Every structure is written in C-alpha cells, then in structure tokens.
Amino acid sequence: MAAGQQTPGKKLVQKAHPALDNMKYEIASQFNLPVRQGSEDYWGNLTARDCGRVGGEMVKRLITMAENQLSGQ
C-alpha cells in the first residue's frame, strides 16, 4: 500500500460514525424508506436503488459541507 493511503476498514475519524449514521437515517426518513435507527443496519428489505439513493444523497451533503468549510462559510 502506498504512503498516505488508508488501511481498508480503518476509520480515520472514529467519532464520525454516529454522525454519519444519523445522516443516513435522516435521509432514509426523508425518502420515506421503511428503516429505523437501531435496526442493526439491516436494509435487506430495500432495493439496491433505494440504498444507492441514500448513499448518493449522503455524498452530496458531505461534499457540500466540505465545500462550505473550505470556503469559510
């Protein structure tokens, strides 16, 4: 593995996990998906498309947050 690359499965910011989970379930709720926080992350009853929508929206929001932070807003 090249210098500076992350080890697979290792989180760089340990405390980010709860915040990301909260974001995931907030987005799922906004999309009216039948999942609830504390469901042990079992989303097997959802389509890959719905799961992808949640992940895609998370990426969009995280990029927006990073851009705002970089621009000083």
pLDDT tens digits, 50-60: 999 999 999 99
6 φ, ψ (degrees, to nearest 5): -80, 140
Which whole number is the average pLDDT over 24-28?
95
Check: pTM over 0.85? Answer yes or no: no
Mean pLDDT of the chain: 86
**Local structure of 34: helix, strand or coil:** coil
Q: How many residues does the chain have?
A: 73
Give the tens place of pLDDT for each residue, 34-47. 998 876 668 888 99
Please report the pLDDT score of residue 42 as a whole number. Answer: 81
